[in-house]
Amino acid sequence: MTEPVIFGEHLLRIEDVLAVAQRRAPARLQADETFRSRITRGAQFLDTLLDREGVIYGVTTGYGDSCVVAVPLHQVEALPQHLFTFHGCGLGKLLDAEATRAVLAARLRSLTHGMSGVRIELLERMQAFLEHDVLPLIPEEGSVGASGDLTPLSYVAAALAGEREVLYRGERRSAAEVHRQLGWPPLTLRPKEALALMNGTAVMTGLACLAYARADYLLQLATRITALNVIALQGNPEHFDERLFAAKPHPGQVQVAAWIRQDLAIDAPAAPLHRLQDRYSIRCAPHVLGVLADSLGLLRQFIETELNSANDNPIIDADNERVLHGGHFYGGHIAFAMDSLKNLVANVADLLDRQLALLVDTRYNHGLPSNLSGAPAATAMINHGFKAVQIGASAWTAEALKNSMPASVFSRSTECHNQDKVSMGTIAARDALRSLELSEQVAAATLLAAQQGVWLRQRLDDARPLPAPLAAMHSELAATFPPLIEDRALEGELRLCLEQIRNRHWRLYA
């Protein structure tokens, strides 16, 4: 494991959430007394207000449109349990372990601002959940992304209180049973603590961190695949000339072109050209991929600002003895970031799908066999190579493109018109992960096809020598994915390639 990720007063990056989510780094709470006293002041201030019988939303009132309903002091302690109980109505698939850890990390970071009125004991228990890998089973559906991720986060609050189910050591167990095994008393959530846990953007933000990292790697992988396809298709390397991109200097676009030049060793003497201009999916690859490259900085800003914010309601300002009622649970920035990312990665899938279509078609692949089949002449008529793989990639691309419609424009008035404008950020984040899944499938298909195309090209008399970066990857791929000579079912190899993509198996660009 790497150095611990410290949850406290300093800013976290997407990479910190990823390290915790993938259990590459332990999560630790900031340990100094200044931090602990800041957290404690918030909880003590709430107790002081209760002693004065002050009106605090969600503490001495009902929730949502029920904020006009006063809760007598003798019922205040029971209110948190009712909040996570009636929100126990999530449906759909359960978040996987990595996503659940990201959600816990995002919520813990928000609460460490000391502006949510929770005890230090609650933060310590959340850190212990991450340390011992006690993962609440969270259904992914049921949040509209304002008033926070109420329903999915209710499963976190309930698990901390020893209710519902968790994943522990690979088994689905009751939270109460795991608490007993670990010697932990279940937490009795104090006034405001259930609301603080649930009334925030942790689910959409945790998922957004994972989506960002996958998109960043997909960008680099798509660039490498493009370079391989320039070789396979005998493309014109001058399309990536540095002087050309100086004339239209979008930084991300310039970077992608530089990566391709590096892969192609473009400063070496070029072979005679067969044509002046390649088709757009090759010639314009830096322009397509550059949009994603140039957008990542803005998306990072949106995600990390949300990650490092206090985003529940009300905000507890203990230092100035104020309770601030607002709408920081609204996930609009994450919704925009994830809707944008869906569009960006779908365009990457479309680019790679078009490159694959060129590779298999003898009208456009410049001398390669039909469907990239490596079969000898005696059996060529019964072999079909990558024909079905290209059909599959087309299907995955179509679904990713269909999925690019923004979720954030489908705001629905809910909860007796109290939540009358909502972000849909969690749906957008889930959509983005699905689009990434589909785009990674297209990348796996196109990478294996590019590998086959390069192998076939190297067997021809007019083959160019492989530049060193591509030769190294071609050799590594060949050790796992042998050339396709006689037809074989490729599902297993596609799944292995997909697993390697998701594990960021290849080190691509610095």
Bridge-based pairing state of the strands 5-7 and 91-94:
unpaired
The closest of 272, 233, 231, 239 to 362, measured between CA atoms, is 233
**H or E element at residue 317:** strand 315-317
Q: Report whether 425 contacts 331 (CB < 8 A).
A: yes
Whole-number Å distance between alpha carbons of 46 and 190? 10
Exposure string over 22-44, b if 16+ CB within 10 A, otherwise e: eeebbbebbeeeebbebbbbbbe
- Tokens representing 26? 């332990």
Bridge-based pairing state of the strands 5-7 and 27-29:
parallel
Edge to edge, the sheet with strand 165-168 lists 135-136, 165-168, 171-174
In three-state secondary structure terms, 167 is: strand
Q: DSSP code of 78?
A: T
Does residue 280 have an active-site annotation?
A: no
Rounded-to-10 torsion of CA 46, 52, 56, 62: 110
Q: DSSP code of 70?
A: B
The C-alpha angle 46, 52, 53, rounded to 5 degrees, equals 85
Say which residue the tokens 């008033």 belong to: 147
In three-state secondary structure terms, 6 is: strand
Whole-number Å distance between alpha carbons of 158 and 135? 12
Cα 325 vs. chain centroid, distance in angstroms? 31
Whole-number Å distance between alpha carbons of 312 and 112? 12
Whole-number Å distance between alpha carbons of 9 and 252? 32
In the set 57, 212, 280, 364, the catalytic residue is 57
The closest of 97, 107, 477, 3 to 329, measured between CA atoms, is 107
Q: Report whether 282 contacts 355 (CB < 8 A).
A: yes
Q: How would you class 409 by CB atoms within 10 Å of its CB: exposed for 0-12, middle for 13-18, buried for 19 or more?
A: exposed
Q: Report whether 198 contacts 157 (CB < 8 A).
A: yes
The closest of 381, 374, 377 to 481, measured between CA atoms, is 374
In three-state secondary structure terms, 423 is: coil
Which residues are catalytically annotated? 57
